[in-house]
Chain A
Amino acid sequence: MNFKKSHIRLCLCLLSAIMAAQCATQQPARHPDDLKIRQLTFNPPEAERVVMDNGMVVYLLEDHDLPLFDAVAYFKAGSIYDPADKLGLAGLTSSVMRTGGTDSMTGDEIDEELEFMAGSMEVSAGREAAVATLSVLAKDMQRGLEIFSDVLRNPLFAEDKLDLAKKRSIEGIRRRYDTPGSTIAAEFPKLVYGENSVWARLPTEETVSGISREDLVRFHERCFMPNNMIIGISGDFDSSELTPRLEKLLGDWSPRDPALPRIEPIEPSFVQSVNYIHKEINQSNIRLGHLGIRRHNPDEYAVEIMNYVLGWGGFTSRLWIEVRSDRGLAYSVWGGMRSGTDYGLFEAGCQTGAGTTCEATELIRDVIAGMTEAPPTDEELALAKDGELNSFVFNFTSSAQIVQKRVDLEFFGYPLDYLDTYEEKIAAVTGEDVHRVAKKYLHPDKFVILVVGDAAGFDKPLSTFGDVTTIEVPRAGEPAIVQ
């Protein structure tokens, strides 16, 4: 056994930028701003990072407060690796890996054993990662890990469980356009990235139907291996006992070259378009946006502050205040830019009564444009930075969360000291930085606009914003047609 270790030290100083000199013995404060806030220092528990000989990265964090045991593992095995004619393969591989049994147990036997011990193990796939989780009581740690390892290493992909998973997946596809929210979530990324982009495409009844057990076996062989895996373990265990157990269960899993298909890079383009999906409803669901930024862009911190000011700051953002609080146009309104492995999305949206559809769309567009016209006010900047810095501690409230965060950051390629430098980088963002990134990355004249609703009730024709493309969404499983 040969574990390479590297320690990550983190010391959080929860400084308050909002401190006024006041003593408890003096006149009691009349306004919360007058309260004296004592300084807090906090050393969050640190997860130990070890690399096994076969390349598996392991984070460990002991926590003896409660008799619990949790593990989470990320693999590069998401849907971006699906072949174009087998969309849905990553999702089916993940789910049937868990339900379809292993060389030593049927899926039903795994269900029985785990559920009897009130534990769970699940595998699911997103766009980039397949994520496997295990949660058991500490007394069941050994058995839980055995099942976890068996499922990841030796899945059988039983035909009957694949058939069941395909049927359920197809039912989900049939229901994709049942609500305005699910409709817009399915169609908007396609308009920005292109229908066939790995960042937007979705499984269809046809692609799912064409997936065979052999496809799953091959996908598993290509993606599930120790050197394509980062695992985080937390709970009531003793590291010196756990590491030999891990070594025994997973140490002889041989590394292989992951055979992941090359992902075509995005050719960034920004072209305004106005799109409409008809649904007979009294409230429109509106989305505007375009490509965002790439992950690890040094401007990520300034973009985060921009997001806070614009539309992610909850009760304080400009979109909240202008669209919801001042005008009562929407219950839910939001906007912000995500970074992505290639390019993330910049999106803003709301739901508003049919008769205020264009008013709300224009307002959102104007509020976003406002970000490019001037730096945020000093109060907005201070609020955003204080909010980010003072709430940073909520990344460290449980051991399972601390470990999960580590795994997630490493999976997405962040440096190991990312959290150590985070506060400093946020604190350094200036109003000018926010203005600069807003001008650089926001293009309000080139928004892709998508409205789901009933045009008969709109306050103005959508063509106010440009030529309108109507998208016919299928009823229960037919393919979408763009007219």
Chain B
Amino acid sequence: MKLRSNLSKFTILLILFCILTAIVGAQNLEDRVVEHTLENGMTFLLLERHQAPVFTGMIVVKVGSIDESIGKTGLAHMLEHMLFKGTKTIGTRDFAAEQPILERIDRVGTELSAELIKAERADEQRVKALREEIKKLQAEAAQYQVKDELGALYSKHGAAQLNASTGNDVTRYYVSLPSNRLELWAMVESDRMANPVLREFYSERDVVMEERRLRVETNPFGALYESFLAAAFLAHPYQRPVIGWSSDIAGYVADDARAFYSEYYTPSNTFVAIVGDIDVEDTIGLMERYFGPLPKRDLPPRVGTLEPAQKGERRVVVEQDAEPQLLIGYHKPTLPHHDDFVFDAIDSILSRGRTSHLYKKLVKELKLVASVSTWQGTPGARHDNLFVIEATPRSPHTPAEVEAAIYGEIERLKTEPVSESELQKVRNQIYADFVRRLDSNFGLASQLAYFQAVAGDWRYIVQAMREIDKVTVEDVQRVASKYLTRENRTVATLVRKSAEPAEGER
């Protein structure tokens, strides 16, 4: 209690200090980021940081699993894998000689996919024969190919953090390199944007199938999360797994990926951040030279489906050979709705650190869980999304007990106003997060390009901080009462396979 009163004395000074420093830091960032848009609509965000002779190049394409059509789930992710297979100049010694063989592989591959989607009714002999044929053709193509040259090129030039990722909303391609490789990066990435060659499509599809087994089918939490999203969204494509359903993966053909690429990988749908030891003027020149020639194209179609308002609690049970876990999700609006910023505050209040409500009650006091966390904005931010509470029950406590305790804390959020010092703590944390992010090329590049793509303006990073500063005690109560309700929630529970349901578990 002594601590409390001390804190409140400091509060006013701290608020003043934080607002001042936050504005200084934010203003500083706003002044330093240079935005440059090419004729063809491709957006570049450039930021000089000269701490070390390195830079991060981050390309965000505004396409994710939500843009896929039914029957082709996971295609955005499959394409991301394929864009590491090279171009008409990278990965080949003689593309003219290689190309006809690739076309023959495509034809056999299309037959293979047609057989594979029959699942149990597939003719195993035929599958085997077609696989053998692809293997033979691939060996023929290999004499003209330079194996995995794109990755090798980056690696020998000292790449760090070389990878890509696909989400529900966006696909990212990133690498950090020594700063004398900026032109090399521009050359490789503009080539990848203009001339990708989808080599080895069918062996890569097998890789993706293994990735699905790793992330979902043999991972209890992955399986729970997949069912959770499928239940939480009736209409909106956020219901789909990013990796795709396995029968869809089995059915892809290379032309599916090419069509998807043509539709979505357009300059005006691509957002790039380059942060590090660069010269902004020189960099603009380089980007004009390498990415400028990409033809301007129409914006791709956008998802129009709206998730209808939820009319009652939904519950899912997933049985696995594992200890119980619990997910609870509530529908809510996405950015830049003011309530989304209030959820940023609620996220912190409920689960950030050892002084958060859920940690204090469920971990420290009741000892019901080993851990509890909340996620704000799941599974994406381009459309209205979920606020999620995740808990790991501690034996012998059941998910039902944990659920009840969580609802108790949520009711408390609605009825008991949080203290002003709690809100101030949130503001302090948001500000400190902001400053800490400024210490990394990679972190900054990720944020700039992501928010440019998703929020339409990278300045969202700074605006969000200002908006969260304005969240009031009343906001928290109002938003908790409006969204964190029984009829608006989906509850997914992982239970041990073949275990007798414990009392009150269902």
Cβ of B404 to closest chain A Cβ, rounded Å: 19
Whether the Cβ atoms of B187 and A32 lie closer than 8 Å is yes
Whether the Cβ atoms of A387 and B214 lie closer than 8 Å is no
Cβ of A277 to closest chain B Cβ, rounded Å: 12
Q: Interface segment, A167-175, A209-217, A218-226, A430-438? A: A167-175
Q: How far is the CA of A477 from the CA of B439 in the complex (A)?
A: 42
Residues of A within 8 A of B187 (CB): 29, 32, 35
Q: Does A329 contact B (CB under 8 A)?
A: yes
Residues of A within 8 A of B152 (CB): 315-316, 383
Whether the Cβ atoms of B435 and A67 lie closer than 8 Å is yes
Whether the Cβ atoms of A174 and B155 lie closer than 8 Å is no
Contact with A along B431-447 (1 / 0, CB 8 A): 11101101111000000
Whether the Cβ atoms of A115 and B353 lie closer than 8 Å is yes
Residues of B within 8 A of A135 (CB): 436
**Size bracket of the A interface:** 35 or more
Whether the Cβ atoms of B207 and A179 lie closer than 8 Å is no
Which of A33, A37, A313 is B181 in contact with, Cβ under 8 Å? A37
Whether the Cβ atoms of A315 and B148 lie closer than 8 Å is yes
Contact with B along A109-126 (1 / 0, CB 8 A): 101110111111000000
Cβ of A24 to closest chain B Cβ, rounded Å: 9
Residues of B within 8 A of A382 (CB): 156
Residues of A within 8 A of B53 (CB): 14, 40, 42, 393
Q: Interface segment, B294-302, B363-371, B449-457, B464-472? A: B363-371
Q: Does A83 contact B (CB under 8 A)?
A: no
Q: How far is the CA of A351 from the CA of B214 in the complex (A)?
A: 7
Known: A111-B355, A352-B210. A387 touches B158 (CB 8 A): yes
Cβ of B257 to closest chain A Cβ, rounded Å: 16
Contact with A along B334-372 (1 / 0, CB 8 A): 000000000000000000111100000001100100110
Q: Interface segment, B197-205, B265-273, B406-414, B474-482? A: B197-205
Residues of A within 8 A of B156 (CB): 18, 382-383, 386-387, 390
Residues of B within 8 A of A387 (CB): 155-156, 158-159
Known: A37-B181, A174-B395. A321 touches B148 (CB 8 A): yes
Q: Does B5 contact A (CB under 8 A)?
A: no
Residues of A within 8 A of B213 (CB): 281-283, 351, 353
Which of B181, B211, B354, B428 is A111 in contact with, Cβ under 8 Å? B354
Q: Does A417 contact B (CB under 8 A)?
A: no
Whether the Cβ atoms of B219 and A112 lie closer than 8 Å is no
Whether the Cβ atoms of A391 and B159 lie closer than 8 Å is yes
Known: A44-B52, A331-B211. A326 touches B425 (CB 8 A): no
Whether the Cβ atoms of A179 and B218 lie closer than 8 Å is yes
Which of A42, A167, A285 is B367 in contact with, Cβ under 8 Å? A167
Residues of B within 8 A of A249 (CB): none
Whether the Cβ atoms of B425 and A115 lie closer than 8 Å is yes
Whether the Cβ atoms of A118 and B421 lie closer than 8 Å is no
Q: Does A325 contact B (CB under 8 A)?
A: yes
Residues of B within 8 A of A39 (CB): 180
Whether the Cβ atoms of A325 and B210 lie closer than 8 Å is no
Whether the Cβ atoms of A332 and B214 lie closer than 8 Å is yes
Known: A35-B183, A316-B152. A390 touches B178 (CB 8 A): yes
Q: Does A320 contact B (CB under 8 A)?
A: yes
Q: How far is the CA of A33 from the CA of B202 in the complex (A)?
A: 29
**Whose C-beta in chain A lies nearest to the C-beta of B155?**
A387
Contact with A along B169-207 (1 / 0, CB 8 A): 000000010111101100110000000000010111111
Q: Does B143 contact A (CB under 8 A)?
A: no
Residues of A within 8 A of B209 (CB): 353
Q: Does B64 contact A (CB under 8 A)?
A: no
Q: How far is the CA of A180 from the CA of B439 in the complex (A)?
A: 36
Which of A40, A44, A172 is B178 in contact with, Cβ under 8 Å? A40
Q: How far is the CA of A394 from the CA of B440 in the complex (A)?
A: 12
Q: Does B259 contact A (CB under 8 A)?
A: no
Q: Does A178 contact B (CB under 8 A)?
A: yes
Cβ of B417 to closest chain A Cβ, rounded Å: 18
Residues of A within 8 A of B394 (CB): 167-168, 171
Contact with B along A263-288 (1 / 0, CB 8 A): 00000000000000001111101000
Whether the Cβ atoms of A68 and B354 lie closer than 8 Å is no
Cβ of B440 to closest chain A Cβ, rounded Å: 7
Whether the Cβ atoms of A325 and B203 lie closer than 8 Å is yes
Whether the Cβ atoms of A116 and B432 lie closer than 8 Å is no
Known: A115-B355, A118-B428, A179-B218. A171 touches B200 (CB 8 A): no
Whether the Cβ atoms of A139 and B217 lie closer than 8 Å is no
Cβ of A87 to closest chain B Cβ, rounded Å: 19
Whether the Cβ atoms of A116 and B7 lie closer than 8 Å is yes
Q: How far is the CA of A351 from the CA of B364 in the complex (A)?
A: 38
Whether the Cβ atoms of A320 and B155 lie closer than 8 Å is no
Closest 3 CB pairs of A and B: A315-B151, A390-B158, A328-B206
Q: Write 14 A-B pairs (CB below 8 A) sorted by A numbering.
A: A14-B180, A32-B153, A66-B438, A116-B428, A137-B435, A164-B364, A179-B220, A283-B210, A321-B147, A331-B207, A332-B214, A352-B210, A394-B54, A476-B496
A sample of 12 more A-B contacts (CB under 8 A), given A18-B157, A321-B148, is: A40-B179, A109-B3, A118-B425, A120-B353, A168-B363, A178-B321, A315-B84, A328-B202, A329-B210, A394-B158, A398-B51, A398-B440
